[in-house]
Structure 1
């Protein structure tokens, strides 16, 4: 029984993890996030969004594979938006799932940061 509980706990922990794949398309940093963005995984997102040193940093965060985001994620997005804007760059969000989109709308992030239905739209807006 204890082995089963350990296996279930490990599986639950993996389900709540966050991974971010980074690439560059036409000079735009594209970050593809997968998992959950919360107080335990927020540092991963914050580090990925730190493109300091890049001239006119432009970043698209693809949220299609993000199942959950709490206030930690909201705060990180607001801070990154401010930092990128101050550096004459920008942050755009792409493809949020309905649950994440709802959070973005409830707190008004979709008014502050450009949100797009597709990655293609975010890259060409």
Structure 2
């Protein structure tokens, strides 16, 4: 992973149930989530995914430590995907747990937003 160098740590947001650490690796915004994604924590996620003002924004969400996600998270990811696509960028979800991946598959999010098995794979083109 020598090619993947962390270049910046922008912010860390946290609520009681969700933390979001935002870094930049090789020009890609990496959002590392820990905890639960629901209607109480949606603003934390929404803020972490906001790449407005960036040309061709690329965002990878590391979901290894997400323990729960309801429809609020799905809606936020879909909205972020559309916003990033309109700005000629993309959104990828990395390393969702089996439970989270099942939720993404059931509602068809994995057919719209690219999901990769590991953060390393999500950072590669």
Q: Do both proteins adopt the same fold according to a TM-score greater than 0.5, normalized to the shorter chain? A: yes
Q: Could you tell me how far apart the structure 2 residues matched to 1:55 and 1:120 are?
A: 23
Q: Which runs of 4+ in 1 moved over 3 A?
A: none
**Aligned equivalents of 1:64 and 1:74: distance in 2?**
16
Scaled by the length of structure 2, the TM-score of the pair is 0.87
Pair 1:65 & 2:65 matched? yes
Bigger strand share: 2
Give unmatched runs, 5+ long, in structure 1. 1-12
2:40 is paired with a residue whose SS is coil
Supply the distance in 1 between the matched residues of 2:36 and 2:99 (Cα, whole angstroms): 12
Asked if 1:33 is matched to 2:22, the reply is no
* Higher share of residues assigned helix: 1
- Number of residue pairs matched? 111
RMSD over equivalenced CA pairs, Å: 1.1
For residues 32-111 of structure 1, the aligned pairs below 5 Å read: 32-111=32-111
What secondary structure sits across from 1:29 in the alignment? strand
Instruction: Note the C-alpha offset of 1:44.
Output: 0.4
Deviation at 1:120? 0.5
Deviations 1:40-81 (A, max 9, x none): 001100011011001100000000000000000000000000
Unaligned segments of structure 2, at least 5 residues: 1-14
CA distance in 1, matches of 2:22, 2:49: 10
SS at the partner of 1:56?
coil
Tell me the distance in 2 between the aligned counterparts of 1:38 and 1:78.
14
Q: TM-score, normalised by structure 1?
A: 0.87
Q: Distance in 2 between matches of 1:41 and 1:99?
A: 19
